[in-house]
Amino acid sequence: MRYSIIAFGLAAVSAAALGQDAAAPAEAPATAWQFFTEDGGRNGASARNATGSQIVLKCDKPGRRAVHAIILAPEEKLAAPNSRPISRPIIFQFDSSAPKSENWGFFEHHAIALGNTSDRALARFVVGLRGASKVRIRLDTGISSDVVLDFDITGAQEAITRVYQTCSDAVPA
């Protein structure tokens, strides 16, 4: 009797699933990104890894070349305490592609690439993020061993588009 009830229940669930409208929209793809907006036009998106480190795409004030990227590693020491960034290399490996190196500005617990400079480091990083689902980041601290961070960046294309549109900025090509 118990098996009959279970079989009936499974048949009912299957019939209900088959009876759903085939034209119903598909479930939105999963994303590793969280979005935020604040007063004054500040907005962005971030992806967090298991250690609490984050990749942040951010705009403080809407406008051309206003989006910037931050790698935040609160548990790591990336540079000596400073008020001005120290230019250091970061190596990015998107999915299984070849690693690429860029110089970003390092502070004690974060590294930053600005969009309002002639440097193309931010643009190359954003282009790499677009089609990838994972990224390994190696930060050359210059003060101790390299810091290696792994991130799930599923949904990066949507995050990039949303941040750049909200910021009234042009997505790098």
Tens-level pLDDT at each residue, the chain (173 residues): 433 333 333 333 333 333 333 444 444 446 789 999 888 778 999 999 999 999 999 999 888 999 999 999 999 999 999 899 999 999 999 999 999 999 999 999 999 998 877 778 999 999 999 989 999 999 999 888 999 999 999 999 999 999 999 999 999 88
**By C-alpha distance, which of 125, 112, 135, 130 is closest to 48?**
135
Q: What is the pLDDT of residue 73?
A: 96
Strand partners, 71: 55, 111
Which residue is listed with tokens 């690693």? 99
Q: What is the pLDDT of residue 30?
A: 66
Q: CA distances (Å), 83 to each of 41, 80, 140, in order? A: 25, 10, 19
45/154 Cα distance (integer angstroms): 12
Count of beta carbons in the 10 Å neighbourhood of residue 111: 28
Question: Distance between terminal CA atoms of the chain?
Answer: 64
Helix (H, G, I), strand (E, B) or coil at 150: strand
Q: From CA 84, how far away is CA 59, in angstroms rounded? A: 20
CB atoms within 10 A of CB 16: 9
- CA 148/CA 92 separation, integer angstroms: 10
Task: Give the total residue count for the chain.
Answer: 173
Angstrom CA distances, 46 to 49, 103, 122, stand at 10, 21, 15
Domain 31-166 in CATH 1.10.3470? The answer is no
What is the value of pTM for the model shown? Answer: 0.78
